[in-house]
Amino acid sequence: MEVTIRARTNLHLLMAKSRTLRYRTRLVGLLMITPGLAMIVSLLFYPLFHSLVISLYDLNIRAPWLGPRFVGLWNYLQALSSPDVQAAAGRSLYLAAVGIGLGIPLSMAFALILNRPFPLRGLVRGLLIVPWILPGTVQGLLWSRIYDPHYGALNGVLYQLGIIRDYIPWLLDPQRALLLVALANTWATVPMMTLLYLAGLQSIPEEIYEAAQVDGAGWWARFRHITLPLLMPITLINLILKTIDALTLFDLVYVLTGGGPANATQVIGYYLYDAAFQRLEYGYASALAWLIALTAVGLTVLYSRITRPGEARL
Amino acid sequence: MIARMEIGGLLAARRWRRILAALFQILLVVGVFLFITLPLAWLVISSIASPADLLSIPPRWIPWPPDFSNYSHLLFGGEIEGTTLTTVTLRAFRFSLRNSMIVASGVTALCLLFGVLAGYAFARLQMPLGDRLLYLFLLVQMVPVIVLLIPMFLVMSRFGLLDRLEIVILLLTAFHLPFVIWILRSYFLSIPVDLEEAALVDGATRLQMLRHVILPLAVPGLFAAGVYTFMQTWNAFMIPLIFTSSETKRTVTVAIAMFIGRHYTEYGLISAAGVLASLPPALLAIFFQRYLLAGLTAGAVKG
């Protein structure tokens, strides 16, 4: 920050030398942001505004001769009161709950393990990114190969271990399907959570542990009273990121289950896609999209509050 | 005498405990390693197993000899007798790899070009609204992409611009640009300003200085932004899914989804397709791990 301020004043002095120079600097700056600004305004700001307008209309795509009809907040009310939306939102929350309940302890444990020295540490840490960088559709493919009813790895392992007698069509059972999707999704997000925890662990000064050890604190006491509280900001971040992720999850579901069986895995991201681009209810879908967006942005603002500079710098 | 023996015993015990602790640590690391690699391994195994190995019950975990014909078929082959796969499908897959390469490199190049210009302006030249504009950009980027897609789809279809890679590139560029500007701006801010002043005093223009002084110093930042953007774009699914329709315009993520929908029983081939589709981001991750992590931890904000 100091550098910036100094930079600004120095440049200022330089610029004060002549008014034309300052004028030219402004102009150059404007020219430099113009291409990017033009793209962002036309392809982000404009559609944002446009979708707000659409959300107040019934576009009557199925009956174009009727033309768009202004319906005010009707789409929003409909989205908020629809049992389908509530069910889909519930499924997304379930995804988030599994991802948090299972993912947070797991990723914290992973981070603690990987934070200690061991041979080939760089390699294992590098591998950690791989599940996260896998395209979502490939993740779907990967897990459909594992859950496959006839030639899947899960059936194979359980059968060979003698846990199951017959192969099970895992994804055909509506009650099980959502859990299996949540587990697949957790596999992909745990590495990211682990990386954030690792960054958090590195910011805890070693001296605190040394002092605690001198005072006779055992492993558990040190974890309970030092590591856990000091990682709290990261835990909150992971919680929020996972929730946002669950609210927007789409590609994994699209490939793995297509929302089925019997809508059992139709999470809110999938429902939204279905409403917009399969059922063509653009107004209704825009309203719902805005509701989801506001939730996500609210969570993000919360997130940036938590990561105030100086508290948990990543 | 007794005391000395006791001390010796204590030391031995301590050494044993250290060895045990080290073994335990290795065991735990192996656990993490297996958690990550086992699901991946099954996909790779499926892609190189011979049909007999692939379809055996219970599965043959280590297919021997490995059979790479799935890969050669995907990349060079034609119609396979007795399957649902036609030459057209295989060609479409090859097209999709090419399309993803075009889209991801195009978006990365545009993002870096516009990002460098805007990032520098935001870092060094006083902009009207300045940082507030930048925060607004970032806030807009947090909005789930589908909010933007409905109006964009309506507009593009009205102007007959659907099913064009250029449009996919433009949309993805706009979507990733705010974040790239953000990373590059913070990177430019970390470069000492004295160097620029010297260049300015020597009579260099802003653009000359940007090219010859700033950019060479900002290479790590460019890498972080570039690798991150390339990966995110390669993995993009919803935008190419909605804005392309013909088989020759699909990106590889969409092609895989369609492939699974139609030819799911070709286990070996779809697994090989999945591995091929993951290779570019995986290789980037391995070679540019350091840069990627920088972009990724910063990008976590974006969600």
3-state secondary structure string across B144-199: CHHHHHHHHHHHHHHCCCCCCHHHHHHHHHHHHHHHHHHHHHHHHHCCCCHHHHHH
Residue carrying the six token digits 């908020």: A80
Whether chain B has a CB inside 8 Å of the CB on A296: the answer is: yes
C-beta atoms of B174 and A39 within 8 A = yes
Chain A positions touching B59 (Cβ under 8 A) are 151, 153, 156
- In this structure, the answer to whether residues A259 and A185 fall within a common structural domain is yes
Distance CA A182, CA B261 (A): 21
Total domain count, chain A: 2
Distance CA A150, CA A194 (A): 34
Chain B positions touching A50 (Cβ under 8 A) are 151, 154-155
Q: Would you call the peptide bond into B192 cis, given omega within 30 degrees of 0 as the criterion?
A: no
Lowest-confidence range among A303-307, B20-24, B109-113, B157-161? A303-307
- Which strand (E) or helix (H) includes residue A69? strand A69-70
Q: What is the pLDDT of residue A210?
A: 87
Which of A4, A22, A110, A138 to mutate against chain B (most B CBs within 10 Å)?
A: A138
Distance CA B262, CA A152 (A): 19
Which residue of A128, A141, A241 is in closest CB contact with B303? A241
Q: Which residues contact A287 (CB under 8 A, 6 or more apart)?
A: A55, A75, A76, A78, A79
CB contact at 8 A, A265 and A181: yes
Q: What is the pLDDT of residue B166?
A: 94
Residues of chain A with pLDDT > 70, as a percent, come to 90
Residue B301 pLDDT exceeds 50? no
Domain contains A142:
yes
3-state secondary structure of A70: strand
Average pLDDT, chain B: 85
Which residue of A39, A126, A244 is in closest CB contact with B177? A39
Chain B positions touching A61 (Cβ under 8 A) are none
Residue B236 pLDDT exceeds 50? yes
Distance CA A27, CA A21 (A): 10
User: CB-hemisphere CA count at 13 Å for B183?
Assistant: 32
- β-bridge pairing A69-70 and A57-58: antiparallel
The full set of domain ranges for chain B reads 2-67, 87-302
3-state secondary structure of B299: helix
Domain that holds residue A30: 2-54
CA distances from B282 to A277, B24, B36 (A): 31, 30, 13
Domain contains A72:
no
Domain contains A59:
no
* Average pLDDT estimate for B253-261: 90
Chain A residue at shortest CA distance from B41? A142
Residue B41 pLDDT exceeds 60? yes
Domain contains A65:
no
Residue A229 pLDDT exceeds 50? yes
Q: What is the pLDDT of residue A146?
A: 93
CA distances from B99 to A42, A209, B85, B102 (A): 24, 52, 21, 5
- Which strand (E) or helix (H) includes residue A58? strand A57-58
Q: What is the pLDDT of residue A206?
A: 86
Distance CA B6, CA A303 (A): 56
More confident call, B89 vs A171: A171
C-beta atoms of B300 and A276 within 8 A = no
Distance CA A247, CA A263 (A): 16
Q: What is the CA radius of gyration of chain A?
A: 26
Residue B115 pLDDT exceeds 90? yes
DSSP B119-149: HHHHHHSPPSSTHHHHHHHHHHHHS-HHHHH
List the one residue out of A296, A285, A314, A122 whose CA is nearest residue A201.
A314
Q: What is the pLDDT of residue B97?
A: 94
Chain A positions touching B284 (Cβ under 8 A) are 133
Q: Would you call the peptide bond into B58 cis, given omega within 30 degrees of 0 as the criterion?
A: yes
Residue A93 pLDDT exceeds 90? yes
Chain A positions touching B234 (Cβ under 8 A) are 135
Distance CA A130, CA A128 (A): 6
What amino acid is encoded at B269 in this protein?
Answer: L
- In this structure, the answer to whether residues A172 and A28 fall within a common structural domain is no
Chain A positions touching B148 (Cβ under 8 A) are 43-44, 47-48, 51
* Average pLDDT estimate for B54-59: 79
Domain contains A68:
no
Domain contains A269:
yes
DSSP code of A314? -
Distance CA B258, CA B194 (A): 55
DSSP code of B210? I
Whether chain A has a CB inside 8 Å of the CB on B245: the answer is: no
Residue carrying the six token digits 């500007």: B181
CB contact at 8 A, A99 and A186: yes
Q: What is the pLDDT of residue A4?
A: 52
Residues of chain B with pLDDT > 90, as a percent, come to 38
Distance CA A47, CA B237 (A): 19
- In this structure, the answer to whether residues A132 and A236 fall within a common structural domain is yes
Q: Report ipTM for this prediction.
A: 0.88
C-beta atoms of A241 and B125 within 8 A = no
What amino acid is encoded at B171 in this protein?
Answer: L
CB contact at 8 A, B150 and A282: yes
Q: What is the pLDDT of residues A243-265, one digit of tens each?
A: 888 998 999 999 999 887 888 99
* Average pLDDT estimate for A194-213: 88
- In this structure, the answer to whether residues A135 and A39 fall within a common structural domain is no
CB contact at 8 A, A268 and A247: yes
C-beta atoms of A151 and B25 within 8 A = no
Angle, alpha carbons B271-B274-B277 (nearest 5°): 155
Residue A224 pLDDT exceeds 80? yes
Lowest-confidence range among A202-211, A218-227, B127-136, B292-301? B292-301
Q: What is the pLDDT of residues B184-228, one digit of tens each?
A: 888 888 888 887 788 778 877 777 888 888 888 888 889 889 998
Q: How far is B288 from chain A (nearest CA, A)?
A: 10
Distance CA B207, CA B180 (A): 19
* Average pLDDT estimate for A281-287: 93
CB contact at 8 A, B176 and B259: no
Q: What is the pLDDT of residue B155?
A: 92
Which residue of A8, A40, A277 is in closest CB contact with B174? A40
- Which strand (E) or helix (H) includes residue A237? helix A232-248
Q: What is the pLDDT of residue A289?
A: 93
Confidence class for position B109, pLDDT limits 50, 70, 90:
very high
Confidence class for position B82, pLDDT limits 50, 70, 90:
low
C-beta atoms of A128 and B285 within 8 A = no
- In this structure, the answer to whether residues A31 and A149 fall within a common structural domain is no
Lowest-confidence range among B14-28, B158-172, B195-209? B195-209
Which residue of B115, B193, B296 is in closest CB contact with A36? B115
Q: What is the pLDDT of residue B220?
A: 84
Q: How far is A208 from chain B (nearest CA, A)?
A: 22
Confidence class for position A19, pLDDT limits 50, 70, 90:
low
Structure tokens at A177: 């399907």
C-beta atoms of B144 and A292 within 8 A = yes
Residues of chain B with pLDDT > 70, as a percent, come to 92
List the one residue out of B175, B177, B170 whose CA is nearest residue B145.
B175
Residue A314 pLDDT exceeds 50? no
* Average pLDDT estimate for A136-151: 92
Q: SS3 for A173-207, per residue?
A: CHHHHHHHHHHHHHHHHHHHHHHHHHHHHHCCCHH
* Average pLDDT estimate for A278-305: 87
Residue B291 pLDDT exceeds 80? no
Residues 87-126 of B with CB under 8 A from A: 113-115, 117-118, 120-122, 124-126
C-beta atoms of B193 and A244 within 8 A = no
List the one residue out of B273, B279, B246 whose CA is nearest residue B93.
B273
Whether chain A has a CB inside 8 Å of the CB on B260: the answer is: yes
Chain B residue at shortest CA distance from A39? B174
Residue carrying the six token digits 């019997």: A262
- In this structure, the answer to whether residues A48 and A88 fall within a common structural domain is no
More confident call, B14 vs B150: B150
Q: Chain A to chain B, count of Cβ pairs less than 8 Å apart?
A: 295
List the one residue out of A54, A93, A96 whose CA is nearest residue A75.
A54
What's the start-to-end Cα distance of chain A, in Å? 17
Residues 199-218 of B with CB under 8 A from A: 200-201, 206-207
Q: What is the pLDDT of residue B302?
A: 39
More confident call, B129 vs B254: B254
C-beta atoms of B59 and A151 within 8 A = yes
Chain B positions touching A22 (Cβ under 8 A) are none
C-beta atoms of A14 and B197 within 8 A = yes
Residue A117 pLDDT exceeds 90? no
Chain A positions touching B49 (Cβ under 8 A) are none
Residue A1 pLDDT exceeds 50? no
Residue B174 pLDDT exceeds 60? yes
Structure tokens at B76: 């060079």
Q: Would you call the peptide bond into B240 cis, given omega within 30 degrees of 0 as the criterion?
A: no
Q: How far is A188 from chain B (nearest CA, A)?
A: 9
- Biggest alpha carbon–alpha carbon distance for chain A: 86
Distance CA A241, CA A297 (A): 11
User: Long-range contacts made by residues A16-25, C-beta under 8 angstroms, separation at least 24?
Assistant: A25/B125, A25/B126, A25/B206
Q: Which fold has domain B87-302?
A: MetI-like fold (1.10.3720)
DSSP code of A227? I
Q: What is the pLDDT of residue A311?
A: 43
Whether chain B has a CB inside 8 Å of the CB on A61: the answer is: no
